[in-house]
Amino acid sequence: MDPIASVLDEEDRLWHEFWDLVAAFPDDAASEPGYFEEGWSAKDALAHVGTWLAEAGAALERIRAGTYRHAPTDDEIHQMNRRFLEAMRDLSLAAVQAQSAAARTRLRHAVLELGEPNDAGASWIRKAGPEHYREHLPRMRAWLDEVRTRTSA
């Protein structure tokens, strides 16, 4: 299996694990703050992942077109995270799910159109996909357990 196929397989497996965890929240609990101390909900975490998938898809398209400049700095990433959260916070869970799924599809298409990615492309794919999911999966599992324990009591 070529390296990009392996990354896409891993992305697919981890995406579905993350997606299924968000879908497992009872009733409206996916929108309850508590995922992060800063007040994020499971829906906010999905929106965060989805907006970075969209950014990665756009970056891959720029790489393919030869117009890519540079990866965002840490400061730019923090600013983007704040803007993304603000832009997505008031959307319904269904809208966030649709945006995230569409952004993921766009990313996967951009990967296939790019072919074998250069270092910048490979970095975007890993960081927005498998590495990003792995970063959020442990807390999502724990938050779901906390919510289930609270709602079953």
| pLDDT tens digit sequence for 28-75 | 999 999 999 889 999 999 999 999 999 999 999 999 999 999 999 999
* Across 102-109, average pLDDT: 97
Q: How many helices (H) and strands (E) does the chain have?
A: 6, 0
Write out the CATH class of domain 3-152: mainly alpha
Residue 48 in tokens: 């965060």
Domain ranges of the chain: 3-152
- HSE toward the beta carbon, residue 62, CA cutoff 13 A: 13
In this predicted model, which residue has the larger pLDDT, 41 or 118? 41
> How far apart, in whole angstroms, are the C-alpha atoms of residue 9 and residue 30?
27
pLDDT > 90 fraction of the chain, expressed in percent and rounded: 80
DSSP letter at 39? S
| pLDDT tens digit sequence for 68-93 | 999 999 999 999 999 999 999 999 99
Q: Give the three-state DSSP class for 46.
A: helix
Of the candidates 54, 62, 31, which has an alpha carbon nearest to the alpha carbon of residue 147? 31
> How far apart, in whole angstroms, are the C-alpha atoms of residue 132 and residue 9?
15
Residue 142 in tokens: 């724990």
DSSP letter at 71? P
